[in-house]
Structure 1
Amino acid sequence: MLKIQEIREIIKLIDHSSIDEFVFESEGSKVKLKKNATGSTIQAPQGVSSISAPVVPQPQPVAVTPTPAAAQTAPSEQTSVEKADSQDESLLKITSPMVGTFYQASSPETPAFVQVGDKVSADSVVCIVEAMKLFNEIEAEVSGEIVEILVKDGQLVEYGQALFLVKAN
């Protein structure tokens, strides 16, 4: 069964995303979060009362296609690299393969994986996205130079959200 702190963490992630409904089942227990205009409700196992939490609507909704891999990440997760919509067509975007929290470094005491101007190869780790206490290293999957970091350290990111702009070699 999930601990109350883990449930609170999930509520925070759901509140800051455009996901409307989330269901988690494990060992006969089921947690269901449903977001609407008035609030979110958690349905707990029999004998446990529901928990309600206020929901702050997002100013700009982002389309999210939830997949089973979004809740549980595996080493085979792939970062998406696509053309940037900017004025320079040679720039590529490195996007997040999951919903989670973006970190530039493995810990606050260590330097960031990459800075603007750094050269990266396809297998270079560029950041970490933390989802449900799992820290997932995100690889560049493209060779080039980091031109811009589009998110701040500690910011919640959506599935498919652009994290970096890279000028391809």
Structure 2
Amino acid sequence: MLRFVALALASQCRHILADESWQDTPILTSLWQATSNNDNDAIDRLLDSSESAVSSRSGDGRGLAWWAWEFQNEYVLGSILAYGGDILSEDEDESGKAAMAMCTENPDCNKDSLVQKAKSMMEDLKKRKEQRAADREKDDFDDEEDEELGDDEF
């Protein structure tokens, strides 16, 4: 009995600690909008702009994975994988539902098909992510060179 109480208490403490980091933020609002509107360019920009965007959770404990499953957005699911996230995580929101429950509870959603499509996109999405990072690095380097020349040079 004591063991059961200890396990229940540990589980509750884990949930309370997770809730402390759950908060509504502008980037999460933007991720929800981009996911619901199938705005892949915005998804790329948002994920590129924040290392924590893939794993951030809103006040209700949901995040990008929940919305990707809810809107059956294979591009976002593939992007989550490309950025190191787990689309099949058992982590729960405040109502005790894992992200994939948004699909499995919907009779019109084919979880296996979405996972397969997301996984098939992952390598291409990783390459595109790396290319965007390289382009930004080159642009930053070019900007530094321009600053060294000064405005008087032109």
TM over 0.5: no
Task: Quickly name the TM-score band, shorter chain normalised.
Answer: under 0.3
TM-score normalised over the length of structure 2:
0.27
More helix by percentage:
2
